[in-house]
A and B are shown apart, each in its own frame.
Chain A
Amino acid sequence: MIKKIAKYIGRYKPYAILSPVLVLFEVLLEVFIPLLMGRIVDVGIPNNDYAYIFKTGGLMVLMAVGALIFGALCAKFAVTASNGLAKNLRKGLFEKVESFSFKNTDHFTTPSLITRLTNDVTNVQQAFQMIIRMLARAPFMLILATVMALRISTRLSLVILCAIPFLAAAMAVLTKLAFPRFEAMLKKYDLMNARTQENLIAIRVVKAFVRGDYESVKFKDAAAALKTAQRKAERILVAAMPLMQITMYACILLVLWVGGNDILGGRLMTGELMSFLSYITQILMSLMMITMVFVNLVLSSASAKRILEVLDEAPAINDEAAQAELSVKNGDVEFKDVCFSYADDPDNLALSHISLSIRSGETIGIIGGSGSAKSTLVQLIPRLYDVLSGEVLVGGRNVKDYKIKTLRESIGMVLQKNVLFSGTIRENLRWGNPAATDEEIESACIAAQADGFIRSFPNGYDTDLGQGGVNVSGGQKQRLCIARALIKNPKVLILDDSTSAVDTATDAAIREAFASQHGAATTIIIAQRIASVMDADRIVVLQDGKIDGVGTHEELLATNEIYREVYTSQQKGVA
């Protein structure tokens, strides 16, 4: 798994390699310094050799400066490498998500995708940075310092060599105990936050039903549970530090005892003992660092896994089999015995055996209850989803034959939920056609009955919309989205319940404008109100994913029970 993530290092690879290499030099220098100090004490002082002392001292200073440079460079490169990795991961993830079809995104859910692109990437980045710096430094220092220690005295080294496995084992046990506790704590933390978030959103309901105290009690319980879980988890950590300290101190004491004896016995020199003490610290510190690296690896592995899940997912819809030169001839739309299921499950069909033939330029209305899959039906046309069986044809060819871009550029869709983006009105409208001239933009807005209110804004078409288009009302948003689709000048125009927020008069005006200006386009209108589709050339009645009837308004009134029901219920009371 690490390998897969590491592949994304890209052009920052040199930094990722240089950093640990530099650290090796840093460690080398750092390990030699105590040795030289020992020589000063054992050679320089007894021989009153100033020259030796200052020469050695000067060398040590140089080595320290060298280590400083290497260390600083190592840190700088590690930072560069990890940030580069993060950037490439983000890029890879983003582009992958862009290539996803809805099937893929439904698999992950939107909030989860957002977290993976933000939090998870940050976690992996931090872990990577720590690993580059520590993973080379710690083992190398451990080995080198142990070698140095052995060179000085094998007897003394035995003390340390006994301590190492003991400390390692203790750390392993503690880590193993700690993880499940930390996981449990995080769960409680998430639960508490979710509770708070819910209350914020639903505060009106809470107040209306006078549940303030009740919710407070629930929260108290959640906070108390978190406190207990947190204490349980932290207690393990708290035990780790004294354990490490005791091991270190025990080593030092033993080394002093044995070392003292060895000095008196002539087997060891004082300076050597002093160096040795430094090496103890270096060895035990490296052990701690190695533990930290492992901990980080494990903690970030969850994030790494989540990132890889997205990167490994194959986009459900691709156009590799398509012919590049094929263009959409006209607005003919045909469904040939189409079956569709969100879960690819033939026993769980959202659409069954849909056969429908629409001529270019026709206006088709679609009526049906929720769960009758009206939106699903039209989303098959621009290949937002692929059929399970059967064929969808546009312009006489199977939609799979076209390059996706070609296909979608000739189909305009106004969806149920109207989304605008940060930017000006003009910029948003240009989404329909980046090359649209101002006149084309205006004429589309006039047809969508949007020009009027746009001009009423102080900045007109250059008015900034704010994130999510918060400065405009629901009805205005809808009209802007309709204009945006019209600018495309599509061969097939799909309107999915897109006039629900405008009043009937505006709705009628919009439809009239379509008819006159974009009459050549095939128009498919999904609506709740019969009034919106009454004047269509034909109306399709969907029920439970099947076509219940097709015909004109009058024909359906006469022959189709569902249509009649809906019509009368909507007309209730009109004398």
Chain B
Amino acid sequence: MDRMKILLVDDEHEFVTTLAERLELRNMNVSIAMDGEAALGLVENDPPQIVVLDVMMPGLSGLEVLEKIKAIDSKIQVILLTGHGATKDGIRGMQLGAFDYLIKPIDIDELIEKLNEAMKSMA
């Protein structure tokens, strides 16, 4: 079976690199980006199947990046990461085409469940 191809986007370097390591241990193919511009570059040049995208980032916001990803390739699934008390961003994101949203700090099992659901929805 092909490895799931994930792009993690978050401006917290320690968070995104550690989470990437955990997903790689689960046999996923993970790349990372620390801002929206870098994420869009990767989406153009090496498209992932699923993007896990933080909403609150300096520069382009997560919701802006989401809109641009969907404009590049609407089939790419996006799971948003929001802060507590920012569920309205998650709901807005789903209106813009996000697959779902999770509240940070996330539970790894919950994230994996969402990734699997997102993969199934693409089949």
A, B co-complexed: no
A interface residues, Cβ below 8 angstroms from B: none
Interface residues, chain B, with chain A CB atoms under 8 Å away: none
